[in-house]
A = this chain, B = another copy of it.
Amino acid sequence: MSAESLHLQYSMDIPMLLQNLLQGAARHHRQSGVVSVIDGVTYRHSYADCELRARKVAQVLGELGVKAGDRVATLAWNDHRHFELYFGVSGMGAICHTINPRLFVEQILHIVNDAQDRVIFFSPDFLQLVTQIASNCPSVVRWIMLGEPDPTLRVGGSKPLSYEALLARHDGDYAWPALDERSAAFLCYTSGTTGNPKGAVYSHRATVLHAYACALPDSHNVSAREVVMPAVPMFHANAWEAPFSATLTGARLVLPGPKLDGESLYRLIEAEGVTFAIGVPTVWFSLLRHMQERGLRFSTLRRVLLGGSATPNSMIEGYAELDVELYQGWGMTETAALTTCAQPLKSHAAMSPAERRQAIFSSAGRIVPGADMRIVDDNGEPLPWDGSTGHLQVRAPWVISHYYKASESALHDGWLPTGDLAEISSDGFMRLADRSKDLIKSGGEWISSVEIENIVAGLPGVQAAACIAAAHPKWGERPLLVIEPALGSKLVEEDILRHFEGRIATWSRPDAVLFVESIPLTATGKLFKLKLRELYGNYLMNRS
């Protein structure tokens, strides 16, 4: 053996595979597992139960002729069956395609046909959806219902199979194959706010490494003592890695199903002793209101990781009064979610708690260990971390280099452009200025729509606010603020405009305020600005 070949062979050759995570939890965390709520029924499975059922999923897929590299899709909520499918599908070498059921039907059809899904597992809640699309999905050979289908039921002309009946036919006597750790494990499409959804693929290696990075103290901070509840969907960038950071560390995982209203969440958190949760601000806002109205407190919940949109200060302080620390993370489908996370540094210790919360919440946080980020100017030249604003780019072993089936790279110069404008402070905190395409260019000056939205986000009477670029005869574009008022709100345009006084330069204040019944959201709950521009982009032209 040559010296070169020798010096590569001294460490155990163990690939980073998702089945190894689940097997580890099954062997070493027997007291822990997955709690799942489906139609009001609570299911409890140890990690060993989950691993056995995941092996049965692999057997079912083998029986159906699914091969390594095939796409197997899910239309499912956060529950134990979705969790088993994550591991069963990817562990046998197929690619688990988590479909976002909130996409438009045409988009879902597009992605099923783009992915060429062979099998689709669906929750009974999506029966209407699948009957609607089935005849236009020629690649799909089997529809499998996560429940007991009525015998008379037909999907695309044939009977859907019953998930539990299929599993019951197998014994779990199955050995996980020794896959290449760079094999694709998951396929997750972007929400397509700017065109057709594009597929982001996560390999086993990417997912396992990201699980380590997410479990770290400055990210999810998960030990075997935690009870973790992702209230962000498992079809949305794998619920920001929570199922994997929990499995890796042996934390208990609580999967709440579709019911994310305040009362349901509060009951579940208390019943299961949830200590750490993840989700978008709207969910946690409803829960806070539910608790404040009833004077409730949490027995165990201590931390909530938020992402996706701005968090009103009143909500941060409301949770602080309940001894719950909210903190922000940032990521995209293309980065397998969590890329930055806003935890304090030693230097924040001298601040008062409220000051510290404000300082931390003004940023999207610091880089998750193992990832990297930078800001560049319009020519792609790196900018200093001194308050300069530039195009945000990221790198990590869990970030995509190509979209699904794309032959050209998604990268520029080895980095993934995020489409966001941001600044980075000298101590590594990243602050998002705006999506590049959401900036408003007024007479040669850039105005941040996010900055305007943040100013009114905490205002009583405002349910939601979106600022868009509206065409203007003199300035090219000017900010238009679209407001969805809270129930019973008596706010008028004057009140809103007055609120900007002293908070932002005169020239960058909105020209007008438009009240609408409801602001359209994208499938992932973000402000659907493309739609708003279609609807109201000429509002100022007509007015002036």
Contacts and interface: CB of A to CB of B under 8 A. Distances in A.
Contacts of A201: 7, 10-11
A427 B30 contact: yes
A11 B398 CA distance: 6
Given A16-B397, A370-B248, A218 B212 contact: no
B10 A184 contact: yes
Contact of A400 (B11, B372, B405): B11
A118 interface: no
A3 B118 CA distance: 15
Given A248-B370, A345-B31, A345-B224, A10 B427 contact: no
A224 B213 CA distance: 13
Contacts of A203: 8, 10-11
Interface string A370-412: 1010000000000000000000000111111110110100010
Interface stretch (A21-29, A253-261, A324-332, A485-493): A21-29
A183 B372 CA distance: 23
A396 B212 CA distance: 15
Contacts of A13: 397, 401
3 tightest Cβ-Cβ pairs between the two chains A and B? A10-B201, A212-B212, A217-B223
A175 interface: no
Interface string A265-283: 0000000000000000000
B69 A12 contact: no
Interface string A210-231: 0011011110011111010000
A190 interface: no
A31 B369 contact: no
Nearest to A411: B12
Given A216-B215, A218-B224, A223-B218, A401 B30 contact: no
Given A218-B249, A343-B224, A370 B212 contact: yes
Contacts of A24: 367, 369-370, 372
Nearest to A400: B10
A542 B12 CA distance: 48
B347 A31 contact: yes
A50 B397 CA distance: 24
A9 B395 CA distance: 15
Given A11-B182, A24-B369, A223 B343 contact: yes
Contacts of A209: 16, 212
Contacts of A11: 182, 201-203, 205-206, 397-401
A120 interface: no
A1 interface: yes
Contacts of A192: none
Given A24-B370, A248-B369, A249-B216, A10 B345 contact: no
B8 A182 contact: yes
B405 A6 contact: yes
A17 to B, nearest CB: 11
Contacts of A28: 366-367, 372, 428
B29 A428 contact: yes
Given A248-B369, A248-B370, A225 B10 contact: no
23 contacts: A7-B184, A7-B201, A11-B202, A11-B203, A11-B398, A11-B400, A12-B396, A12-B400, A12-B411, A14-B395, A27-B428, A29-B428, A30-B426, A31-B347, A31-B427, A209-B212, A215-B217, A216-B217, A217-B223, A224-B366, A225-B346, A250-B366, A250-B369
B225 A345 contact: yes
Nearest to A14: B397
Given A6-B405, A14-B395, 19 more contacts: A1-B407, A7-B69, A7-B184, A8-B180, A9-B182, A10-B184, A10-B404, A11-B397, A13-B401, A24-B370, A28-B366, A28-B367, A209-B212, A212-B370, A215-B369, A216-B223, A221-B223, A225-B344, A227-B346
A485 to B, nearest CB: 41
A10 B401 contact: yes
A401 B12 contact: yes
Nearest to A405: B6
B366 A402 contact: no
Contacts of A95: 7
A254 to B, nearest CB: 13
